[in-house]
Structure 1
């Protein structure tokens, strides 16, 4: 397993400096004043959060040398299952639990009557990445993206691609579409976008499991990026922080093509309502994928930190609460922006998240 268990000695200098420069919202102690917080907590889930978790763990353990945070980026589905089974103190997931899952679920480390806290603290665009010689960027509309991944558009010089890219040197080359092989929140967010924005082409509803055989499958965000990068004529989708030197697509929103950026990702989150009929500490967002608002990038992953509102045991509850409060703080969000290219949450969302975190008990 690729676990993230970073000690203070390997803390990222820029992140540590940011954290140590001021007292965080969660009042964590830093520097020579010392920290009395100690404990060992385990989290698991979202691989999209991987780079952000590295930054968060490094900075948090720098401030609290007696604390160990062990995060396994095994994937969102694995993280939700692990949390329900009681094998982790918190989870990272690229989607919230569904209403049915919440109604039927028994969360192993939660008190019997406890609700679940779901906090959208990692916001990142999902990039449509590709590899074509001499082509660095493409303008693609929703129907064309859906057609490529559905297997209806099979060549790079297809008229649908050429129509929005008249100046691109599109080769006569087969398209190899790459998708995730694991149960993935990135896939669920991507297919949610395809179904909402191009339902006439993408007939399948949102799902963390790729809905049909075909194309090429790869494990995790890093697997998709590696497969696309090592191929020719390949295209895939991945957390934008992993795009690197690959070609990327700008997506049609209304009358413009919008490239991914943290600012464009944050814009759609602020423009979308919370899910209805949820507990007060459950901040699941109902993303508006079909908005035509200017400057909004609609293929967005909103990744959640999930915890019990009340734990069955008080052991390490304070560490969980303080770690989540750090992640939600300005310092934590800045650390993720530097380390992972994510979009910092808005102040209004931070206030609601902090209220939910303060309710965590054991």
Structure 2
């Protein structure tokens, strides 16, 4: 399907993807042929999203294996910190699970000097409600109950609101340890957008990259939250699917109104395909519909953008940034996500992504 207007749904397929890479080590995509990569030399730094940390690791490992004279250093420090690094001219691109916000765009554009900063979607994912409750293998939650857990009004696992959704499940009379991100996070921004859109009566804190609700427990990064859930009895938290899989955590199904839906890559893809274009030209900002109520469609999703200058990157960074992002947008790199819990970009949106990368100058 062609994407020609902001109101037309985007064709994006789904899959799984997982690993991590901040440099030459890590990752598992050893099957990428060198012919998929147009090597250049040099070194660049990038930082931001922890959600894409595992995918970025595979991509960097594949690129550097093919191109030994190139070094790409990606630091998964959270979307907010990544955008700050980019605005401060510390990195060639930022990874963010939310597109540039109006308050960040002027600083990003100013850094680019001769052009504007653009949002290039490179990978999608499901935000799971991962939990660690002894004896509980399956769990169904609704938007109102999720909001109640994270706003602190539902404090026990055997609360009547949770029990009503989980007939036959033996829920303990234990206090809930609800984990949120302690760092500025695009995952938090998407999660709170979901709560604000689907449970406005229960969630009155709006959406932001910073956690606004009182109480709860904080941990840094998707991997930090996953580790905290894993090590804490009666815990729950929101993390990207690949991290839940990596930590072997159980995840809840979500009932948005059309029945309980598991957070699989296929079910997340079904929601992401309904995204619409909000950006113009080579700025590919998307709008996600968190209120979707369809069978086999998981509603809590995110898209990670690589944010960089369409024009104005220093010459020392431009060639390698363009070469690397050209590779990440290739069929080989996108198809490589299907093993580990991510949603690859496909179809007309992928064509637009490649055009945006090609426009970097």
The answer to whether TM tops 0.5 is: yes
Separation (CA, whole Å) in 2 of partners of 1:331 and 1:149? 39
Query: What is the Cα deviation at residue 6 of structure 1?
Result: 3.2
Cα contact 1:89–1:109 (8 A) shared by 2: no
Taking the TM superposition and a 5 Å limit, the aligned residue runs for 1:342-357 are 342-357=342-357
- Aligned to 1:354, the other structure's residue is in SS state helix
Cα contact 1:43–1:91 (8 A) shared by 2: yes
Q: Which residue of 2 aligns with 1:83?
A: 86
* TM-score normalized with structure 2 length: 0.90
Separation (CA, whole Å) in 2 of partners of 1:290 and 1:312? 38
Taking the TM superposition and a 5 Å limit, the aligned residue runs for 1:258-269 are 258-269=261-272
Asked whether 1:126 is paired with 2:127, we answer yes
Separation (CA, whole Å) in 1 of partners of 2:348 and 2:205? 34
Q: Which residue of 1 aligns with 2:5?
A: none
User: Which consecutive aligned stretches of 4+ in structure 1 deviate over 6 angstroms post-superposition?
Assistant: none
Post-superposition Cα deviations, 1:64-103, rounded to whole Å, max 9, x if no partner, equal 111110111111100000001111001101101123432x
Q: Which residue of 1 aligns with 2:29?
A: 15
Q: Which residue of 2 aligns with 1:245?
A: 248
Q: Which residue of 1 aligns with 2:257?
A: 254
- TM-align CA RMSD: 1.7
Query: What is the Cα deviation at residue 322 of structure 1?
Result: 1.4
Q: How many residues align?
A: 340
Show structure 2 runs of 5+ residues with no match.
1-19
Cα contact 2:109–2:116 (8 A) shared by 1: no
Show structure 1 runs of 5+ residues with no match.
30-34
Post-superposition Cα deviations, 1:139-182, rounded to whole Å, max 9, x if no partner, equal 11111111111111111111111111001011111111111111
Provide closer, same or farther for how the CA distance between residues 312 and 94 of structure 1 changes in structure 2, counting only shifts above 3 A: closer
Separation (CA, whole Å) in 2 of partners of 1:346 and 1:293? 21
Separation (CA, whole Å) in 1 of partners of 2:288 and 2:235? 28
Taking the TM superposition and a 5 Å limit, the aligned residue runs for 1:182-331 are 182-243=183-244, 244-275=247-278, 278-331=279-332
Query: What is the Cα deviation at residue 318 of structure 1?
Result: 1.6
Separation (CA, whole Å) in 2 of partners of 1:237 and 1:316? 35
- Aligned to 1:213, the other structure's residue is in SS state coil
Separation (CA, whole Å) in 1 of partners of 2:266 and 2:108? 37
Query: What is the Cα deviation at residue 62 of structure 1?
Result: 1.4
- Aligned to 2:276, the other structure's residue is in SS state coil
Asked whether 1:63 is paired with 2:80, we answer no
* TM-score normalized with structure 1 length: 0.90
Separation (CA, whole Å) in 1 of partners of 2:177 and 2:313? 48
- Aligned to 2:283, the other structure's residue is in SS state coil
Taking the TM superposition and a 5 Å limit, the aligned residue runs for 1:80-119 are 80-102=83-105, 104-107=106-109, 109-110=111-112, 112-119=113-120
Cα contact 1:41–1:320 (8 A) shared by 2: yes
